Amino acid sequence: MGISKKIIALIAVFIVIIALWLFLFDNNEESQSSNINGNAMIEKETASSNIIEITASGFSPNELTIKAGESVKFINKDSSMHWPASAIHPTHTVYPGSDITKCGTSEQSVIFDACKGLKEWGTFTFVFNEAGKWSYHDHLKASLRGKIIVV
């Protein structure tokens, strides 16, 4: 192989490495889904006083009390991906109307389910309209659990 073919091959490898790095580690373009009726959305920034941080050791606070109609914003502060969703693992059916089978459908915007792993600093916001005690978990690490109490 001549020197020019080696250089072209190295450049191609370099481009592939950069493309993979951007795909795997670019958090600036965290998925933003449109929100048809205001119940759930994945977004980079949202003003909210009800924030739950996700770390390697779990959710903080682990239990949160809010009023019906308020939103809760989950922020992944871990370098590993986390997927907040309604309990029970793996179906996500505890919160009324939620079900993992609705991920990727037109009903995704109204379920308590991020429907994907959140990258570091990624967020998921959900509006709790139903009063009750709602358990949730991390779909990617089901031992991490919490509870939202809606009054």
Residue 87 is part of a domain; what is its CATH number?
2.60.40.420
Asked if the structure places residue 104 within a domain, the reply is yes
Does the residue 1 lie in any domain? yes
Give CA–CA dist 42/53, Å, rounded.
15
User: Quick check: is 60 in a domain?
Assistant: yes
Q: What is the pLDDT of residue 81?
A: 97
User: Measured between alpha carbons, how far is 143 from 45 in angstroms, rounded to an integer?
Assistant: 27
Residues of the chain below pLDDT 70: 1-2, 12-48
Residues 136/146/52/94 CA torsion (nearest 10 deg): 20
Name residues whose C-beta falls within 8 Å of residue 85's C-beta, 6 or more positions apart in sequence: 92, 98, 100, 112, 113, 114, 115, 136, 137, 138, 139
Task: Write the single-letter amino acid at 133.
Answer: K
Residue 82 sits in the same domain as residue 124:
yes
- Give residues with Cβ within 8 angstroms of 23, minimum separation 6: none
Q: Residue 17: its pLDDT value, please?
A: 63
Say yes or no: 80 and 135 in one domain: yes
Q: How far apart are CA 11 and CA 143, in angstroms?
A: 44
In a domain, 89, yes or no: yes
Q: Is residue 51 part of a domain?
A: yes
Residue 82 domain-assigned (yes or no) = yes
Same domain, 83 and 110: yes
Whether 34 is in a domain gets the answer no
Query: Is 35 inside a domain boundary?
Result: no
Q: Could you read off the pLDDT of 15-30 as tens digits, one per residue?
A: 666 655 455 444 433 4
- Residue ranges making up the domain that contains 44: 40-150
Tell me the CA end-to-end span of the chain in Å, nearest whole number. Answer: 72
* Other C-beta atoms lying within 10 Å of the C-beta of residue 121: 15
Q: What is the domain count for the chain? A: 2
Q: Is the pTM of this model over 0.95?
A: no
61 and 84 housed in the same domain: yes
